[in-house]
Amino acid sequence: MPLKKGRFVWYDLMTTDAAAAKAFYTEIIGWKTQRWEQAGYEMWAVGEQTVGGMMALPDEAKKMGARPHWLAYIETDDVDATVKKAEQLGGKVHHPPTDIPTVGRFATLADPQGASFAVFKPTESGPDAPQKAGFFSWHELYTTDYKAAWKFYSELFGWKNTRSMDMGEDMGEYWMYGLDSQNSMGGMSNVAKQQNTPPYWLYYVTVDDIDATVARIQKRGGKLLNGPMEVPGGDRIAQCMDPQGAMFAVHMPARK
């Protein structure tokens, strides 16, 4: 398949307790795991299709104050050129362009406001993620200046604005985007004033029953941060934190 610049294609969990995280997410989401040839790395799978992986949070990242988190990889046709452009636009390089034999080339970056993400050119581009349980469905940026962030990402990946909505005085405008101007794959807004957190990306996983999923999250030591709640269109979402402190969200599509 041809590359699709700007789409989210892989999701890594950086954690402080891989065994506990594995037990948690396999129970909560239903993922299976597949051990990769690289020591200390396991992949999340829905059936036979892998969606991401898990590894220990590097010591150097801990020393810089990094906490357990999810990191998404965005497809590009030239990692080195994308990194160079990101720097020109005010971004920073956390990990320089690096080859993964037989897999592809990647780099990890931070946008000008400080939110981390990765870019990736696979050796073979895979299919779009289906909208069904276990796959990631929405990609949300909470930042300090969404207009500046939008300028950065739209210039870097060619994302198009799909629509926007007013989220009230606390959060302001919610800006949605996609690979074209019709189909949204995520949104961005300023961090709510009461949160007082640095900029971050939040990724949503599709589930069949959000109430049952939230109950399992809490039973297994995770935290419910917000929701479950209905959003325009009838979908339901909940924002959560795993037992190690990594934030994630779950999404149940509206019943047809």
186 and 208 belong to one structural domain = yes
Residue 53 falls within a domain, yes or no? yes
Do 140 and 248 belong to one domain? Answer: yes
Task: Answer for the pair 162, 184: CB distance below 8 angstroms, yes or no.
Answer: yes
Residue 3 is assigned to a structural domain of this protein: no
pLDDT above 70 as % of the chain: 95
Same domain, 101 and 144: no
Q: Are residues 195 and 112 in the same domain?
A: no
Q: Assess if residue 208 is contained within a domain.
A: yes
Is residue 170 exposed (0-12), middle (13-18) or buried (19+ Cβ within 10 Å)?
exposed
Q: What is the CATH number of the domain that holds 224?
A: 3.10.180.10
194 and 103 share one domain: no
Residue 50 CA to residue 34 CA, distance in Å, equals 8
Q: What percent of the chain has pLDDT over 90?
A: 75
Verify cis geometry, omega within 30 degrees of 0, for the bond prior to 228.
Answer: yes
Query: Do residues 141 and 248 both lie within one domain?
Result: yes
The token pair at 63 is 């020393």
Query: What is the pTM (predicted TM-score) of this model?
Result: 0.94
Q: Which of 224, 24, 12, 219 is nearest to 136 (CA)?
A: 12
- 107 and 158: one domain? no
| Locus of tokens 């597949």 | 34
Report yes or no on 85 lying in a domain: yes
Domain of residue 78 covers 8-122
Using one digit for the tens of pLDDT, what is the confidence trace for 108-153? 999 999 999 999 999 988 888 888 999 999 999 999 999 999 999 9
Q: What is the pLDDT of residue 39?
A: 66
Say if residue 116 is in the same domain as residue 36: yes
In a domain, 128, yes or no: no
Is 90 within the bounds of a domain?
A: yes
Q: Are residues 152 and 52 in the same domain?
A: no
Give the phi and the psi of residue 230 in degrees, each rounded to 5: -90, 140
- Domain end (from 122, 147, 175): 122
Does 2 fall in a domain? no
Bridge partners of 189, per DSSP, are 142
Q: How confident is the model at residue 102 (pLDDT cuts 50, 70, 90)?
A: confident
Residues 210, 161, single domain; the answer is yes
Which of 122, 149, 178 corresponds to the end of one domain?
Answer: 122
Residue at a domain's end among 91, 122, 153: 122
20 shares its domain with 98? yes
Kindly report the average pLDDT of the chain as a whole number. Answer: 92
Residue 190 lies in a domain: yes
How many domains does the chain contain in total? 2
pLDDT in tens, 32-80: 998 886 667 899 999 989 999 999 887 777 777 778 999 999 999 999 9
